A and B are shown apart, each in its own frame.
Chain A
Amino acid sequence: ETGVTQTPRHLVMGMTNKKSLKCEQHLGHNAMYWYKQSAKKPLELMFVYSLEERVENNSVPSRFSPECPNSSHLFLHLHTLQPEDSALYLCASSQDVGGGTDTQYFGPGTRLTVL
């Protein structure tokens, strides 16, 4: 449960604000992910990083800007968001992006509300 941590757990921001979400994994994994989870909808993959290099940008608007300074940390910088961006933002990590039976381990999420 504590292998992947996220801060803050809750965030309320106006449409003109700039904020950042932080994720840290303590599992020695090489891959990290950002997901968006909206009510009653499946998780949506946003970004994937492997060894600090972005390998996936799933058609995410530019108001979301990821940063991966090292394999243990992942940030999601937010600016000029819209109310429809309100959701639970989940970070995950896995040993590698090769997939197979490699399990993704999720953090507790940041509940974001955009006013």
Chain B
Amino acid sequence: DSGVTQTPKHLITATGQRVTLRCSPRSGDLSVYWYQQSLDQGLQFLIQYYNGEERAKGNILERFSAQQFPDLHSELNLSSLELGDSALYFCASSPTPGTGELFFGEGSRLTVL
């Protein structure tokens, strides 16, 4: 158990809909990262927050947004969903933001029908 909690574990929705994925980082970790894992794209970095502020953006679509709240939990919002958005979405946290030492949650599997 990495200590990173993600909900929901599975989500099935229809095209055009909006979903919110939630992440609670390990206790004490200020950095939260979101990654997308799909068969064709592999593991792709989406976005990073550090202590409530956005630190880095990767290949995140404009239809997607995220935030980190004062209690350090984070939410990833996916809107106007398309079939191609079906993937595993991982949240990770880090005790040391300057390294790649990330602790990943078990992911949220999104299926868009």
**Does A associate with B in a complex?**
no
